[in-house]
A and B are shown apart, each in its own frame.
Chain A
Amino acid sequence: MNDDARLEQMLRAALPPMEPAAPSRDVWQSIVARGGSRRPGWIDVAIGAMTILALLRFPGWLWLLAYHL
């Protein structure tokens, strides 16, 4: 056995291959929370709806809104 093979054998003895395993928990919600989902929340929908209603009622506010965007 050459030096490299012996080193590799020692390495495998020190760090055995990992056993096949599955995640201990369902991480889907973590992915969604992390931003995997871009589905808007109810607050976003409510603010959008109120903005549209306000602009329909007071069209002149459009310029004020455009100025702030």
Chain B
Amino acid sequence: MPDDLERDLLDRFVRGDQDAFEAIFRQFQVEVYRWILRIVRDPSAAEDALVDAFWRAYRGRAGFQPSRGFGAWMRRIATNAALDHLRRSRKAARLIAGGDAVAAPAGADRATIESIVRAFAALPPGLRVVATLAIVEERPYSEIADALDVPVGTVKSRVFRAVRILREELARQGIHP
């Protein structure tokens, strides 16, 4: 994310200047949206989480230190907003369990693909975020750790736990990768 915002703009944002907030939003919205989209994997949900993230940023602006990067701070907020969305959608998914059909990539075994997607969706949101970013999106561990504000070792252990849970769930369904 671009981090070369003028100090004056950030100072005005912290003081609650709406024009400064909008200028920052215009500069960062696409990068923040793409980051959220990687996590929630649904454009409509990503837009909702984008609104939520920038609203949280404005509400929590007093805690932002302009001397530190806005991009990293915003990414943490965006990650938390996306995580909260996953938690809410997981509850909703339980209510409509057995719902959506999954589009299988060409050449793949549709039943296997559906099993994998369902097993992945059933992961606890905290593990799912890490697994999505590390395995699916292949983002560096250091970047994920920064976005979640946790040590790199925590990211590695969460990926390990996510893979183990996935493997167990798939084994229960007779799939042995």
Contact = CB atoms under 8 A, between A and B. Distances in A.
B8 to A, nearest CB: 20
Interface string A17-41: 1101111110110110011111100
A44 interface: no
Interface string B133-162: 001111000000000000000000000000
Contact of B30 (A13, A23, A25): A23
Interface in B4-35: 16, 18, 21-22, 25-26, 29-30, 33-34
B62 interface: no
Q: What secondary structure prevails in chain B residues at the interface with A?
A: helix
Interface stretch (B63-71, B92-100, B110-118): B110-118
Contacts of B52: 34
Interface in B22-60: 22, 25-26, 29-30, 33-34, 37-38, 41, 43, 46-47, 50-52, 54-55, 58-59
A36 B167 contact: no
B51 A13 contact: no
Given A21-B37, A31-B58, A38-B16, A14 B177 contact: no
Interface of B: 16, 18, 21-22, 25-26, 29-30, 33-34, 37-38, 41, 43, 46-47, 50-52, 54-55, 58-59, 102, 104-105, 108, 112-113, 116-117, 120, 131-132, 135-138, 163, 166-167, 170, 177
Closest 5 CB pairs of A and B: A7-B177, A14-B116, A36-B58, A30-B51, A34-B55
